[in-house]
Amino acid sequence: MELVNGRPEDCTGRLPKEVRCYDLLDSLGVPYQRIDHEAAMTMEACAAIDRVLDATICKNLLLCNRQRTAFYLLMLPGGKVFKTSVLSKEIGSSRLSFAPPEDMEKYLDITPGSVSVLGLMNDHDNQVQLLMDEDVLQGEFFGCHPCINTSSLRIATRDLLEKILPAMGHSPRIVTLPKEEHTHDPESRT
């Protein structure tokens, strides 16, 4: 795996949603680095990528309430444990669960294993509220997928907050999740 600057020289064979991510970042003048790799479906698969990126690799979870009327994209450091009861209490929404794949596709144009904050560029009606764990803000850089799990990007956290999110019409709600260490969560998705 090699860390390279910017978009691929040739985007032939890449999905339109991935290319749209590069188009967005380039149009905003946001510098980024990229690694192409085999599909990374879990945080464990991201370990080798993490070492090369040298950034806060985020676990990105699309959540919803029981009625599927409220949707949340949660960004938290990959090593943190996610407990629905803690987050539910903090945001005042009971019975949170993972959103089904059809809602991932409908609202963010993403599939399981490819969930990314960059998917918010596809949420034109602001149906998804971004929840960002406060520890994500501590890292100078964060890592995410360009809406496909065969590449990973290294982007300055400041650029996310000051350029990318405003351009997408989203602002984060900062949440505080417990600092328990992540051991193994078979339901964890990137």
What are 121-148's pLDDT values in tens digits?
999 999 999 999 999 999 999 999 999 9
Side chain identity, residue 9: E
Given a cut of 50, whether residue 185 has pLDDT beyond it is no
> Looking up tokens 């501590």, which residue turns up?
138
Q: Per CATH, the architecture of 14-170 is what? A: Alpha-Beta Complex (3.90)
Tens of pLDDT, residue by residue over 2-61, are: 899 999 999 999 999 999 999 999 999 999 999 998 887 666 666 778 888 888 888 899
Answer whether 0.85 is exceeded by the pTM.
Answer: yes
Contact 37, 56 (CB under 8 A): no
Which letter, b or e, does each residue of 89-124 get, where b requires 16 or more Cβ atoms within 10 Å of its Cβ? eebebeebebbeeebbeebbbbebbbbbbbbbbbbe
Cβ count near 36 (within 10 Å): 12
Contact 22, 29 (CB under 8 A): no
Tens of pLDDT, residue by residue over 77-133, are: 888 888 888 999 999 987 899 999 999 999 999 998 899 999 999 999 999 999 999
Question: What secondary structure letter does DSSP report for 161?
Answer: I
Distance CA(63)–CA(87), nearest Å, equals 11
